[in-house]
Structure 1
Amino acid sequence: MTATHAGLLSRRDWLLSERPASRMQARLGRAYVAWRRFSANRLAFLGLLIIIALLVVAALADVLAPYSPTFGDLKGSRLLAPSAEHWFGTDDLGRDILSRVIFGSRWTLYVVILVAVIAAPIGLLVGTVAGYAGGWIDAILMRITDIFLAFPKLILALAFVAALGPGIENAVLAIAITSWPPYARIARAETLTVRNSDYIKAVQLMGASPFRIVLRHIMPLCISSLIVRVTLDMAGIILTAAGLGFLGLGAQPPLPEWGAMIASGRRFVLDQWWVAGAPGFAILIVSLGFNLLGDGLRDALDPRSGDQ
C-alpha cells in the first residue's frame, strides 16, 4: 500500500468517524456521505454537468457568442437555415440565433437566481414561524398560504405582471410572489416534526428566545429539504418565465430571452422551425438538468436513506 493510498484511507476514516471530535469534522463527514450518494447517481451527475455548462456559457457569453445578440443583417441574413456560418440559423431580423440563445442563458439564470433568493427565504420564514408558534398565528399564515396555492402559478403570475406592468424585473417579482407557498408548507412540516424534540426542549431550558430558536436551531434543519424543493422548482420557474415572455409580459425586445424568442418565431414554425426550435430546445435541456439535479439532491440529502 502506497503512502498516498494510506493517506486517502485515513482521511476517509476520519470523515466517516462515528464519533467526530469537532463540529467541522461532523459537517465534513455529512457532506462527504452526501457527495458519495450523489455521485453514485449517474443521471443526477448528468444534471449537475448541464447546470455547470449553463453557468459557464452564461459567464463566457461575450467570448462564446460569434455575433451580436441584438443586431443582425436584415437585408442579407434574414431567416437563414442552420449552416456552418450560423449554426442555429438566423431569425426574421437577421440576428444569429446561437448568439441569442447563449446570451439568453444569462437572463434564465437571472430569473431563477432572483426568484430563489426572494421566494425561498420568505417561505422558510413563514413556515418555521407558523410551525413553531402554532395556534392562531399558524392558522392565519397557513390560510394566506392556501389562498396563494388555490390559484395556478402561471395565472397568478399573469395577474401580478398585468398589475405591475411588463418587464423582466416585474416578471421576476411576480414569479417570486407566487413561488413561496410550497416552501412555507415544507418548512412548516419540518418544524412540526422537531419543535417538540429533546434538542429543542434543551435549547428552551437554556433560556433561548423563540426568535433565536427559530432562526438558529429550526431553520438550519429545514434548509436541506428546501434546497431540494427549490432545485426541483427551477424547471417550473424557467417555464413560467418563458410563458410570460411568450405572452409579451416578461423580457421585452430586443432582450434575448428564450420565451420571447419562441414567441417571435411562432409565425415561422412551419417553414423556419429553427427560429422557435433552438430556444425551445435550450429550455428543455436546462429544465431537464435542474430536474435531474433535484432528484439527485433529494436522494443524497435524505437522512433516512442509508449510505451506499
Structure 2
Amino acid sequence: MSGAFSREWLLTDAPASRGQARAGQAYRSWLALKSNRLAMVGLCIIAALVLMAIFADVLAPYDPITGHLNTERLLPPSWKHLLGTDDLGRDIWSRIVYGSRLTLMVVTLVAVIATPVGLLVGTISGYFGGFVDTVLMRITDIFLAFPQLVLALAFVSALGPGIENAIIAISITSWPPYARLARAETLTIRNADFIAATQLQGASSLRIIWGHVVPLCLSSVVIRVTLDMAGIILVAAGLGFLGLGAQPPQPEWGAMIAEGRQFIIDHWWVATMPGIAIFLVALGFNFLGDGLRDVLDPRAQK
C-alpha cells in the first residue's frame, strides 16, 4: 500500500468499516497534534524521558549509587562529569538518568491506579444520581478540601516513608478531580436519546456505563491526567525532598535537591541540575496536555 493511497484511505469521508473509521479519526488527531509546535516539544521531552529510563544503563557513565568520596567530591561540571558530582562523589548526570526511571514509574502507576478509580466513581455517581451521587460526591469533596501535597503527606506519614507508599499516597489523593470531571460529562449524556434507546433494548446499567458512558468521558479524563502529570511529579519530588518518598541512596530527583540544598551557594549544580530535570519534564507534560486538549476536546476546537 503506497503512502498516497494510505493517506487517502485514512482521510476518506466514507469509511468502509468501523476499523477504517477509527484509524482515520486517529490519523486526523495525530495531524492536528503534529501541527501544534508546543505539543510536539512536550511529546519530544516525554519521549526523551522514556528513552532515558529504558537506556539508563547505556547513557549513565557511572554508578548512581557508589561514588569516589576522596577524589571526586563536589566537582563542578566538566567533560568527565557533565553535570558535576555531589557531596559523596557520585556523578549527578548518572543519578538523574537513573532517577528518570523512578519518575516514570511514579507517573505511570499513579495514572494506572487513580484514573480508573476516578472514572468509576464519577460515571456511577453521574449515571445513578440521587443518594448514590450525594454519598460519592461528598466523599470526593472531603478529599478535594485539602491540598494534594498536604493530604499526601498525611497518608505517607501513616504508611511510612518509601517510594511504594508515596505512590499509594499520591494515587489516593489524585482520583477526586477525575471523578468530578467524569460526573460532569456523565450528567450531560445520561439523558441522551442513544442512552434511552440502549435502555429500551434491555441493556444493564453496568453495560451502559462501561460501553457507552465511559468511552465518552475518557478523552476529557485523559487530557486532565496528562495535565496533572506535572503536579504529580512535583508532589513526588516534594515527598522525596522531605524524606518521605524514595529513600537514600535511590537517585530520586526531589531527594537529590534535598541533599544538595546545603551546598546551594558554593556548589550550585548539586541541587540545580535535578531541579532543571523536574522543570523540563513537568513543562513537557503541560505542553503535551495542552495539545491533547486542543485535539481531543471538541469544545476547544474552533
Q: TM-score range by the shorter chain?
A: over 0.9
Aligned to 2:171: 176
Structure 1 position 90 matched with structure 2 position 85: yes
Q: Any conservation in 1 of the 2:239–2:254 contact (CA below 8 Å)? A: yes
Structure 1 position 228 matched with structure 2 position 226: no
Question: For residue 229 of structure 1, what is the amino acid of its counterpart?
Answer: R
Aligned to 2:153: 158
What are the superposed Cα offsets for residues 92-133 of structure 1, whole Å, 9 maximum, x if unpaired? 001000000000000000100010000000000000000000
Count of residue pairs brought into register by the alignment: 302
Aligned to 1:300: 295
Question: For residue 157 of structure 1, what is the amino acid of its counterpart?
Answer: A
Q: Any conservation in 1 of the 2:295–2:301 contact (CA below 8 Å)? A: no
Aligned to 1:241: 236
Aligned to 1:115: 110
Query: CA distance change for structure 1 residues 123 and 306 in 2, over 3 Å: closer, same or farther?
Result: closer
Pairwise CA RMSD: 1.3
Distance 2:300 2:20 in 1: 21
Among the aligned pairs, what percent are the same residue?
Answer: 68
**Where does 1:3-14 land on structure 2 (aligned, <5 Å)?**
8=4, 10-14=5-9
Pairing partner for 2:200 from 195, 199, 205: 205
Structure 1 position 79 matched with structure 2 position 77: no
TM-aligned CA deviation for residue 306 of structure 1: 5.2
TM-aligned CA deviation for residue 303 of structure 1: 2.3
Pairing partner for 1:253 from 245, 248, 251: 248
Question: For residue 223 of structure 2, what is the amino acid of its counterpart?
Answer: V
TM-aligned CA deviation for residue 177 of structure 1: 0.2
Distance 2:214 2:242 in 1: 38
TM-score (norm 2): 0.97
Structure 1 position 143 matched with structure 2 position 117: no
TM-aligned CA deviation for residue 159 of structure 1: 0.3
3-state SS in 2 of match to 1:295: helix
Distance 2:69 2:301 in 1: 60
Distance 1:164 1:279 in 2: 26
Pairing partner for 2:12 from 10, 17, 31: 17
TM-score (norm 1): 0.95
Structure 1 position 44 matched with structure 2 position 39: yes
Aligned to 2:25: 30
3-state SS in 2 of match to 1:230: helix
Distance 1:105 1:230 in 2: 19
> Which consecutive residues of structure 2, in runs of 5 or more, have no partner in the other structure?
none
Distance 1:133 1:149 in 2: 22
